[in-house]
Amino acid sequence: MIVRRAVADDAGPASHVLRRSISELCARDHGNDPELLKSWLANKTPEQFRNWVAAEDSPCFVAEGDDGAILDVGLVSKTGEIRLNYVSPDARFQGVSIALIDTMEQEARKLGLTRTTLNSTATAHRFYKARGYRDDGAPRAGRLKDNIYPMAKDLAGLK
């Protein structure tokens, strides 16, 4: 597996990973509510992915398997906000998301940042805690009973 900067040609498979990850792995967060799921998926299109890749303010990354398949998609802003980190259901619990989050944190450090932030779903909250993120403010109520967790990680001193 390698983690690399995303390119426009990744749009089809990357948006497929985003949509599958949300649909299949985040059911706790959207409750399979058709309207809520539709709103989550609305901007997970090849066109939007190409916009993310082209944007200068938010480096976009993909984790690619040995066979060239896209396994994870991540996006980090130049202010250190991790905006996307969605793994393919086929690659869950194989270290792919860890490699991608490590790459995004390295990118933030290259930009001179000492902290990353994100808004975690209930599904991903435990993953981010295990990666050194801490809750950073009160959870915000989502459209379902589960919450959105603002989180942060100090990067100072990390390699």
CATH of region 2-154: 3.40.630.30
Q: Which stretches within the chain are classed as H helix? A: 11-20, 27-30, 34-41, 46-54, 96-110, 122-130
pTM of this prediction? 0.90
- In the chain, where the domains are located: 2-154
Structure confidence by residue, pLDDT tens digits, 1-42: 999 999 999 999 999 999 999 999 887 777 788 888 888 899
CB contact set of 67 (below 8 Å; sequence gap of 6+) = none
Structure confidence by residue, pLDDT tens digits, 69-116: 999 999 999 999 999 999 999 998 888 999 999 999 999 999 999 999
